[in-house]
Amino acid sequence: MPDTPTTAPTPPALETRGVNKWFGANHANRDVSLAVPKGTIHGVIGENGAGKSTIMSIVYGYLPADSGAILVDGRPVAVKSPRDALAAGVGMVHQHFMLVDPFTVLENVLLGAEGGVTLAAGMERARAELVRLARDYGLEVDLDRPVGELPVGAQQRVEILKALYRGADILILDEPTGVLTPQETDHLFRILRALREQGKTIVIITHKLREIMELTDNVTVMRRGEVVANVRTAETSKEQLAELMVGRKVLLRVEKAPARPGPVVLEVSGLTVRDGSGVERVKGVGFSVRAGEIVGIAGVSGNGQSELLEALAGMRPVAGGSVRLRGEELADRPGLFNAKALRGLRVGHVPEDRQKVGLITSFEARENAILGHHDDQAYNGRVLMDRAAVLSRCEAEMEAYDVRPRDARLRAANFSGGNQQKIVLAREIERNPDLLLVGQPTRGVDIGAIEFIHKRLVRLRDEGKAILLVSVELDEIVSLSDRILVMFDGRLMGEVAPQDADERRMGLMMAGVEAAT
């Protein structure tokens, strides 16, 4: 068993001993032993596919372990299902939320803890209890709104409320900040600190070393299914953690030469886009992207960036304005302005939501590697598809992008988030597009892979391609972009040069307070 950094007088709140888990031939957890002292915030970091979600799902009883033991407060517990974990005081907020969208917040919290055959009494009790929790920890949400209508930050608070209402003393959060805006992240951290003060124990999985340094007391580092280190946060540094995670030195900055912009590739003016329910989400936006530059669009999520990107990728009709690709007008030509035709016009698109839009998760990796290009000569014989060509293409891409496990026949759903992202990126970048539209390229991706993806994007730029980058990660925007546009409420607030982009100024622009001067 690895040494525990904090020598607590009381037994650790949560401990795993020698846990092993196999997915087929994939050894996802190897003798994982970790101990979380009571009343602390404990970080778990590691590359994509290191087995972080797996070990936590085992602790929560969502996945069965092949061997090993789980101890809560020093006592071994048999967790066969989430019910057992909840009974032992372990709650979990999953990477993908486990909420019933049409249900109200109250109903979601009540599910599984109804407190009787009928609901009325339980509802009253839950309402009172939730008001108390909201007050004590800053977990405000409107209890009677359907959760599907809530912003992600609020949905996450509902998940935390669910766990607390079930009496969780140990709260596990799997990449909670991946989908949050900086403000929401701050809010979440305030909540977590308040919980720690009340003696709760928190385990948080994240890829963001800044958050680890800011929030946690101890850190466990995993690599390829194993625990490689347990350290006290105060005694380590970002650089050291990064090296422990990846097993080599990692560059935490993006190195790039100044851009050498060429001719304009994409020119947008007065573009308006409506969402599915007819609400105008992009309100007369204009900008241009030149060959050989990366233009970043910053903004708090939900300010129209997603709709803008989707419209440019031909997935959403434009309501007005002009979109020119290499000088050619697309906006009024549905024959050209659709996802398929755009691909022919050498436009690549890495969608924001890799699971719903970027991949067909029930398809194998090799099938996903040619999605949208399945009509290409290269993969088709006279009648049948050339499966060997598809397979070798996918294998080459997996090799080049270090997708793990290197198994082209594995269904996309069974790759970890970061590896799924690499499959999509490889597909789009390796077609060598003139214009690449990228949404959230590194959401949920580990630092090693982020370094790789960033390098790859910069190289694409240096090859003279135009890149439009949409990201809610301010750091990413600032370090990658040659020009930054800030979007707020469907409008562009202005343009900032990356060297002038300090956090305060960007923050104000993203909040719509201040326009660029």
Partner 1 sequence: MDEVFLAVILLVDATIRVATPLVLAAFAALYGERAGVVDIGLEGKMLAGAFFAAAVASSTGNPWLGLLAAVAASVALSLVHGFACITHNGNQVVSGMAINILVAGLAPTLAYAWFHQGGQTPLLPASARLPQIHLPGVEALSPIPIVGPIYREIFDDANVLIWLTVLVVVATQWVLTRTRFGLRLRAVGESPAAVDTAGISVTKLRYQAVIITGVLTGVAGAYLSTAHGAGFVRDMTAGKGYLALAALIFGKWRPWPTLFACLLFAFTDAVQVRLQGVPLPVVGVIPVQFIQMLPYVLTVLLLAGFVGKAVAPKASGIPYVKER
Ligand X SMILES: Nc1ncnc2c1ncn2[C@@H]1O[C@H](COP(=O)(O)OP(=O)(O)OP(=O)(O)O)[C@@H](O)[C@H]1O
Q: What is the binding site for Mg ion (CB under 5 A)? A: 53
User: How far is residue 39's CA from residue 10's CA, in Å, rounded to a whole number?
Assistant: 11
**Would you say 356 and 363 are in contact if contact means Cβ atoms under 8 Å apart?**
no
Least Å distance, CB 42 to ligand X, is 15
Does residue 6 belong to the site contacting ligand X (CB under 6 A)? Answer: no
User: How far is residue 163's CA from residue 467's CA, in Å, rounded to a whole number?
Assistant: 42
Does residue 102 belong to the site contacting partner 1 (CB under 8 A)? Answer: yes
**Given the rule CB under 6 A, which of 23-31, 70-78, 97-105, 481-489 is the region that contacts ligand X?**
23-31
Cis peptide before 317 (omega within 30 of 0): no
Phi and psi torsions of 123, nearest 5°: -60, -45
Does residue 108 belong to the site contacting partner 1 (CB under 8 A)? Answer: yes
Beta carbon nearer to ligand X, 48 or 155: 48
Question: In terms of Cα–Cα distance, which of 302, 301, 311, 325 is closest to 274?
Answer: 311
Residues 115-144 contacting partner 1, CB under 8 A: 116-120, 122
User: How far is residue 133's CA from residue 221's CA, in Å, rounded to a whole number?
Assistant: 32
User: How far is residue 49's CA from residue 91's CA, in Å, rounded to a whole number?
Assistant: 22
**Given the rule CB under 6 A, which of 47-55, 101-109, 262-270, 342-350 is the region that contacts ligand X?**
47-55
Which residue type is seen at 29? N
DSSP class of residue 12 equals P
Question: Both tokens of residue 167?
Answer: 């009496």
User: How far is residue 276's CA from residue 293's CA, in Å, rounded to a whole number?
Assistant: 32
Beta carbon nearer to ligand X, 52 or 281: 52
Among 178, 418, 439, 448, binds ligand X (CB under 6 A): 418
User: How far is residue 170's CA from residue 13's CA, in Å, rounded to a whole number?
Assistant: 7
Among 414, 430, 464, 512, binds ligand X (CB under 6 A): 414
Beta carbon nearer to Mg ion, 174 or 217: 174
| # chain residues binding partner 1, by CB under 8 A | 37
Beta carbon nearer to ligand X, 51 or 292: 51
Does residue 33 belong to the site contacting ligand X (CB under 6 A)? Answer: no
Least Å distance, CB 23 to ligand X, is 3
| DSSP letters spanning 275-325 | -TTS-EEEEEEEEEEETT-EEEEE--TTSSHHHHHHHHTTSS---EEEEEE
- 3-state secondary structure (DSSP) of residue 496: strand
Does residue 358 belong to the site contacting ligand X (CB under 6 A)? Answer: no
Beta carbon nearer to ligand X, 446 or 482: 446
* CA distance to 78, 156, 160, 405, per residue, from 58 (Å): 11, 21, 19, 21
Does residue 164 belong to the site contacting partner 1 (CB under 8 A)? Answer: no
Does residue 28 belong to the site contacting ligand X (CB under 6 A)? Answer: yes
Does residue 264 belong to the site contacting partner 1 (CB under 8 A)? Answer: no
Q: Pattern 340-379, binding to partner 1, x per CB under 8 A?
A: ---------------------x------------------
Does residue 60 belong to the site contacting ligand X (CB under 6 A)? Answer: no
Q: Pattern 401-440, binding to partner 1, x per CB under 8 A?
A: ------------xx--------------------------
Q: H or E stretch including 392? A: helix 387-401
**Would you say 6 and 15 are in contact if contact means Cβ atoms under 8 Å apart?**
no
Contacts of 378 (CB under 8 A, 6+ apart): 386, 389, 393
Among 29, 33, 40, 53, binds partner 1 (CB under 8 A): 53
Beta carbon nearer to Mg ion, 50 or 350: 50
Residues 176-235 contacting partner 1, CB under 8 A: none
CB burial of residue 296 (10 Å; 0-12, 13-18, 19+) = buried
Beta carbon nearer to Mg ion, 95 or 471: 95
Q: Are strands 320-325 and 328-329 parallel, antiparallel or unpaired?
A: antiparallel
Contacts of 193 (CB under 8 A, 6+ apart): 41, 215
Does residue 62 belong to the site contacting partner 1 (CB under 8 A)? Answer: yes
Beta carbon nearer to partner 1, 65 or 342: 65
Among 33, 40, 54, 185, binds ligand X (CB under 6 A): 54
- For residue 112, the partner it binds in partner 1, Mg ion, ligand X, none, with Cβ less than 5 to 8 A by kind, is partner 1
**Given the rule CB under 8 A, which of 107-115, 265-273, 299-307, 398-406 is the region that contacts partner 1?**
107-115
Among 99, 172, 312, 325, binds partner 1 (CB under 8 A): 99
**Given the rule CB under 8 A, which of 93-101, 298-306, 339-347, 494-502 is the region that contacts partner 1?**
93-101
Q: Which residue is nearest to Mg ion (CB)?
A: 53
Q: Are strands 201-205 and 170-174 parallel, antiparallel or unpaired?
A: parallel
**Would you say 225 and 51 are in contact if contact means Cβ atoms under 8 Å apart?**
yes
**Would you say 188 and 29 are in contact if contact means Cβ atoms under 8 Å apart?**
no
- For residue 510, the partner it binds in partner 1, ligand X, Mg ion, none, with Cβ less than 5 to 8 A by kind, is none
Phi and psi torsions of 93, nearest 5°: -105, 115
Q: Pattern 2-31, binding to partner 1, x per CB under 8 A?
A: ------------------------------
Sign of the CA dihedral with 459 first, then 50, 237, and 191 last:
positive
**Given the rule CB under 6 A, which of 20-28, 142-150, 453-461, 473-481 is the region that contacts ligand X?**
20-28
Interface positions with partner 1 (CB under 8 A)? 53, 60, 62-63, 81-86, 92, 94-96, 98-103, 107-108, 110-114, 116-120, 122, 162, 361, 413-414
Interface positions with ligand X (CB under 6 A)? 23, 26, 28, 46, 48-54, 405, 414-418, 446
